[in-house]
Amino acid sequence: MFDINNILRENIKNLTPYSSARDEFQGEASVYLDANENAFGSPLDEAYNRYPDPLQYNVKKRLSEIKGLPIRNIFLGNGSDEAIDILFRSFCNPGVDNVIIVPPTYGMYQVSANINDIALKRVNLTAEYQLNLEGIAEAIDKNTKIIFICSPNNPTGNSINREDVETLLANFNGLVVVDEAYINFSRQKSFIQELTEYANLVVLQTLSKAWGLAGLRVGMAFASEEIIEVMNKVKPPYNINEASQQLALKALQNVDQVNEWIKETLAQRDKLVLALKNFDFVLDIYPSDANFILVKTTDPKAIYNFLVERGIIVRDRSKVELCEGSLRITIGTPEENNILIKSLQDYK
């Protein structure tokens, strides 16, 4: 049985979090002399002289409407990368604990583990880019705190079989983090619906992809109230700045625009796949549930360099295990995709 107290770090269990001025007085007042801010304003058109809401209530309220989840189940991070780091710092004892990742997958799980001095166990995906459940079961030991699953997976683009993730959720007594950065592009439903079912589930999403707000750095973690409380205790007090909160809130009113772009991206993805299939240097294009495709080629480095010379940058993933020969290509605007195809017509 999962029990958060069995995996929480002792120092975090005993932590008294920083109490900010905005924590200690909530409500409206006419004179704020409690936070050592500049009372005169900001040397800008907009005023940013006041500290932002530490718990980002307005943004979470809107997200709660969109996601159909209570605010108490939502954590906001400075990008979902911050949520990943906070999970390490809350639940993993440096030099003692370990986490499981399933490569090829998103690189920050490994970097965050290394920064926090947490051992990594790597259980590669199968040749079909699915979970090796037996391998994962063998890798789990008493110090395994988190299993990271990315679905749709970066860089392969496919979704991970839902039943396999549920098997992990039901049998592992640590956290199962399902990173859904690309879920808006997927035909699969989100794991958010399973939060009431599994106390050990953490779902990560972000405003950086389909929402088009990578520059604002707003990521989300959805989990049980007790996990969210821990994450809020560990995070820096003002981790989402005021400009990002205001702009995210404004953008979150624009669901229709985002849905339109998602549709267009998927249509462009189909077109790009068809066009790329015509090239004899393209060996395989993996099925994608995301806004990018993994393309296996005869000569990834040469193609990459050829495109760079023409001002087109894709991601060379050919050195990544199980992605040999592959380039990862983000779906662009119709114009950008045409430029890519036209340029590739000149390759050899």
Ligand X SMILES: Cc1ncc(COP(=O)(O)O)c(C=O)c1O
- Distance CA(177)–CA(77), nearest Å, equals 15
Among 297, 298, 278, 302, CA closest to 286: 297
Residue 136: phi and psi, rounded to 5, are -65, -45
- Of 22 and 90, CB closest to ligand X: 90
Whole-number minimum distance, CB 270 to ligand X, in Å? 21
Token pair in block for residue 166: 């549920």
Whole-number minimum distance, CB 79 to ligand X, in Å? 3
- Of 207 and 227, CB closest to ligand X: 207
Whole-number minimum distance, CB 111 to ligand X, in Å? 11
- Distance CA(223)–CA(36), nearest Å, equals 34
Whole-number minimum distance, CB 204 to ligand X, in Å? 6
Q: What share of the chain is helix, strand, coil (3-state, %, to 5)?
A: 40, 15, 45
Concatenated DSSP letters of 273-292: HHHHHT-TTEEEE---SSSE
- Contacts with ligand X, residue ranges (CB under 6 A): 79-81, 106, 150, 154, 179, 181, 206, 208, 214, 219
- Of 142 and 187, CB closest to ligand X: 187
- Of 81 and 289, CB closest to ligand X: 81
CA distances from 136 to 3, 121, 124, 149 (A): 20, 9, 9, 11
Those residues with Cβ within 8 angstroms of residue 347's Cβ, 6 or more apart along the chain or in another chain: 279, 281, 303, 306
Residue 295: phi and psi, rounded to 5, are -120, 120
Residue 48, helix vs strand vs coil:
coil
- Of 4 and 155, CB closest to ligand X: 155
Whole-number minimum distance, CB 77 to ligand X, in Å? 7
- Of 102 and 181, CB closest to ligand X: 181
Residue 154, helix vs strand vs coil:
coil
Please state whether 311 falls in left (phi above 0), alpha (psi between -120 and 50) or beta.
Answer: left
Whole-number minimum distance, CB 103 to ligand X, in Å? 13
CB-closest chain residue to ligand X: 79
- Of 17 and 212, CB closest to ligand X: 212
Whole-number minimum distance, CB 257 to ligand X, in Å? 19
